[in-house]
């Protein structure tokens, strides 16, 4: 059986691809490096991380992108012996505008090397490629109209060949986005996401005998949605992508979320799941049109992987490079960076939270040289909402930021003894624990006597719309990680070792 979500935690907008016996699942990464994380499977049950495809500034520059900006909805395809990756980089999504640059890179293997990016039209986001049987390739994307009173404008198709003109093949119906086209049995099937990426989300399928349309809806309604049933474990089901197995079986990869309370906040963000697809009356359909937690696996030999080494660390807005972070076995050395609200060079090394109950622990050696320096661990959502337990010149300090408003929740050692070793004494063991809606921190094995609200580290809480204007979206889910700050740029570093993460 396939157990959903197959990729827990922050793994949204899945693009699934089969090349021979290998399956690849690419997901959005927004403001985090490496861009476009990819997982690999040979049975759709067991998935191993391959890391990110865009790990260098030549391919991706995230400096200064807003919270939940950056890489939106990548698309991974294969044609003519090359992997094709289309990705958009969102520099602004507020105030009625969508400043996005769409790019195409190719590679002979999933590991690369990837070509220099080719700029594609940026009339909208969720760009994807369709490779037709006649050898032609086409760019798909939703269209965004920034004129006052407008917005989502439908789905357009444009030949990639020189001189190809875009044409609208589907008008907007209800936040119509995330397009993919498949050619099966003489029909062109257009799959789109609709209803927005929240609790009204759904996958819709239309078809036409002509690539240009007109496209007609499946009379059975949406292919997949959770919107009518708040009791389903997998909510927000939408943004789908199809794949056919070697044996002719079909599956749908899609995003989903698991709120802490019914239709409440989703600390884990949007995750990736897989559903079995049956063809009925010429239409691809999921049983009941709702997402299942357990799904029959395809008739493929089981292919488990050896446990992955390391934790799949991500870095915020700048790629991991030796000038500020070094990985040496169990030892991670991090040079201090910007404040929590800086959008260019923060020094946060983190990983998505993947379970409702999980822990992160590490031992840190750090000698702060001034009040401008600190190092510790963090439970992080975005630059405005986070918790940070840090060693400072004043000892141990637990600080939180709630949509930009900072609060000191605790100072000193939980047992009352001196700690923090601000002058470089013995190393300090720091830990954090997500326990459903509650977040706790610890020092040297003792829990700090403060229970924090973990649900502020959620997609829903991060959404800020003021007087009808979008200030911030929440698309990423919670992270747990290692954070070093050097606000005056005076030069400081912290050494972390014996770092463990466990999802319970």
Let me know if residue 287 belongs to a domain: no
Q: Give residue 425's pLDDT.
A: 54
Same domain, 46 and 142: yes
What's the pLDDT score for residue 107?
Answer: 98
Question: Could you give the CA distance from residue 82 to residue 294 in angstroms, rounded to a whole number?
Answer: 33
Q: Among 120-124, 428-432, 436-440, whose mean pLDDT is lowest?
A: 120-124
User: Is 249 part of the annotated catalytic residue set?
Assistant: no
Six-digit token string for 154: 């439908």
**pLDDT surpassing 60 at residue 498:** yes
Binned at pLDDT 50, 70 and 90, residue 424 comes out as: very low
- What does residue 287 show for φ and ψ, rounded to 5 degrees? -55, 125
Average pLDDT over residues 357-379: 97
Q: Which of 231, 174, 230, 232 shows the shortest CA–CA distance to 203? A: 174
Same domain, 203 and 335: no
* CATH code for the domain of 176: 2.115.10.20
What pTM was estimated for this model as a whole?
A: 0.96
Answer whether residue 307 is part of any domain: no
Catalytic residue among 31, 43, 67, 177: 177
Whether pLDDT at 192 is above 90: yes
**Distance of alpha carbon 77 from alpha carbon 60, whole angstroms:** 19
- Residue 62: exposure state from Cβ atoms within 10 A (0-12, 13-18, ≥19): buried
Label each residue of 25-49 as H, E or C: EEECCECEECEEEEEEECCCCCCEE
Q: Considering 13, 43, 156, 433, which one is annotated as catalytic?
A: 13
pLDDT tens for each residue of 451-472:
999 999 999 999 988 877 788 8
CA 21 distance to own-chain centroid = 26
Element of type H or E holding 460: helix 459-462
CB 179 within 8 A of CB 126: yes
Boundary of a domain, candidates 226, 245, 275: 226
pLDDT at 422: 45
Point out the least confidently predicted range of 46-50, 326-330, 368-372, 413-417: 413-417
59 by Cβ neighbours in 10 Å (0-12 / 13-18 / 19+) ranks as buried
Supply the pLDDT for residue 309. Answer: 67
User: What would the two tokens of residue 272 be?
Assistant: 């990736």
- Given a contact cutoff of 8 angstroms between Cβ atoms, the answer to whether 188 and 209 are in contact is yes
CB 207 within 8 A of CB 187: yes
Residues 261 and 207: their CA atoms lie apart, in Å, by: 37
Q: What would the pLDDT profile of 47-93 be if each residue is shown by its tens digit?
A: 999 999 999 999 999 999 999 999 999 999 999 999 999 999 999 99
C-alpha span between 110 and 71 (Å, rounded): 18
Domain-embedded: residue 236: no
Statement to judge: residues 320 and 214 lie in one domain: no
Domain check: are 209 and 73 in the same one? yes
Range of the domain at 188: 13-226
In a domain, 232, yes or no: no
Q: Is 249 exposed, middle or buried (0-12, 13-18, 19+ CB in 10 A)?
A: middle
Of 197, 226, 255, the residue that ends a domain is 226
CATH number of residue 401's parent domain: 2.60.120.200
Q: How many whole angstroms separate alpha carbon 364 and alpha carbon 371?
A: 18
What's the average model confidence in pLDDT over 349-367?
A: 97
Place of tokens 């001196």: 418
At 326, the pLDDT band (50, 70, 90 cuts) reads very high
Q: Is the pLDDT of residue 417 over 70?
A: no
- The total number of structural domains that make up the chain: 2
Residues 355, 210 share a domain: no
**What value does the mean pLDDT take over residues 318-342?**
97
Q: Which DSSP string corresponds to 85-139?
A: EEEEEEEE--TT--EEEEEEEEESSTT-PPPPPEEE--SSSS-EEEE-TTS-EEE
Angle at 272 (CA atoms; ends 480, 476), nearest 5 degrees: 40
Residue in the structure block whose two tokens are 């939270």: 353
Output the pLDDT for position 468.
Answer: 76
Given a cut of 50, is residue 31 above it in pLDDT? yes
Helices (H), 314-456: none
| Mean pLDDT for the stretch of residues 412-418 | 75
Is the pLDDT at 231 greater than 80, yes or no?
A: yes
3-state secondary structure of 289: helix
Residue 238 host element (H or E): strand 235-244
Q: What is the CA radius of gyration of the chain?
A: 23
Which two structure tokens, joined as six digits, stand for 305?
């992987």
Provide the edge-to-edge strand list for the sheet that holds 118-120. 70-79, 82-92, 99-107, 118-120
| Tokens standing for residue 294 | 């357990």
Assess if residue 241 is contained within a domain.
no
Query: Is 13 one of the catalytic residues?
Result: yes
Q: Is 288 helix (H, G, I), strand (E, B) or coil?
A: helix
Residues 243-279: tens digit of each pLDDT: 999 999 999 999 999 999 999 999 999 999 999 999 9
Answer with the one of 211, 226, 241 that is the final residue of a domain: 226
Cα–Cα distance for residue pair 324/344, rounded to 1 Å:
13
3-state secondary structure 133-186: CCCCEEEEEEEECCCCCCCEEEEEEEECCCCCCCEEEECCCCCCEEEEEEEECC
pLDDT (0 to 100) of residue 308: 74
Average pLDDT value for the chain: 95
Are 476 and 368 part of one and the same domain? yes
């Amino acid at each position: 059986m396939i157990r959903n979500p197959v990729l827990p935690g922050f793994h949204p907008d899945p693009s699934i691809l089969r090349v021979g016996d290998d399956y690849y699942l690419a997901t959005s990464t927004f403001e985090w490096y490496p861009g476009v994380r990819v997982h690999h499977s040979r049975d759709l049950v067991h998935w191993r991380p391959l890391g990110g495809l865009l790990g260098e500034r030549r391919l991706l520059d995230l400096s200064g992108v807003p919270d939940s900006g950056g890489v939106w909805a990548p698309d991974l395809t294969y044609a003519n012996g090359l992997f094709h990756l289309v990705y958009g980089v969102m520099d602004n999504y507020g105030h009625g505008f969508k400043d996005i640059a769409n790019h195409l890179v190719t590679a002979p293997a999933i590991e690369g090397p990837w070509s220099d990016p080719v700029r594609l039209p940026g009339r909208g986001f969720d760009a994807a490629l369709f490779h037709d049987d006649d050898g032609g390739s086409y760019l798909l994307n939703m269209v965004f109209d920034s004129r006052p009173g407008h917005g989502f404008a439908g789905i357009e198709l444009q030949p990639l060949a020189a001189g190809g003109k875009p044409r609208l093949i589907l008008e907007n119906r209800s936040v119509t986005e995330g397009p993919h086209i498949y050619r099966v049995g003489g029909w062109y099937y257009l799959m789109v996401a609709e209803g927005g990426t929240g609790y009204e989300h759904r996958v819709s399928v239309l078809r036409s005998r002509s690539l240009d349309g007109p496209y007609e809806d499946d009379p059975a309604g949406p292919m997949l949605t959770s919107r009518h049933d708040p009791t389903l474990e997998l909510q927000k089901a939408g943004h789908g992508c199809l794949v056919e197995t070697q044996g002719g079986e079909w599956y749908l990869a899609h995003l989903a979320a698991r709120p802490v309370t019914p239709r409440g906040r989703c600390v884990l963000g949007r995750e990736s799941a897989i559903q079995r697809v049956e063809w009925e009356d010429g239409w691809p359909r999921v049983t009941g049109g709702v997402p299942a937690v357990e799904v029959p696996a395809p008739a493929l030999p089981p292919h488990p992987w050896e446990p992955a080494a390391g934790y799949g660390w991500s870095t915020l807005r700048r790629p991991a490079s030796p000038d500020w972070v070094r990985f040496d076995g169990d030892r991670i050395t991090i040079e201090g960076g910007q404040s929590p609200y800086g959008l260019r060079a923060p020094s946060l090394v983190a990983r998505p939270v993947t379970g409702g109950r999980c822990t992160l622990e590490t031992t840190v050696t750090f000698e702060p040289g001034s009040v401008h320096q600190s190092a510790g661990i963090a439970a992080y959502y975005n630059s405005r909402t986070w918790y940070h337990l840090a060693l400072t010149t004043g000892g141990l300090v637990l600080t939180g930021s709630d949509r930009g408003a900072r609060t000191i929740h605790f100072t000193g050692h939980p047992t009352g003894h001196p700690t923090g070793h601000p002058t470089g004494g013995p190393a300090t063991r720091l830990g954090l624990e997500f326990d459903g809606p509650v977040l706790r921190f610890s020092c040297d094995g003792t829990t700090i006597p403060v229970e924090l609200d973990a649900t502020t580290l959620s997609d829903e809480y991060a959404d800020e719309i003021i007087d009808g204007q979008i200030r911030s979206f929440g698309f990423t889910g919670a992270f747990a990680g290692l954070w070093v700050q050097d606000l005056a740029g005076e030069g400081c570093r912290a050494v972390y070792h014996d770092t463990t993460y466990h999802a319970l």
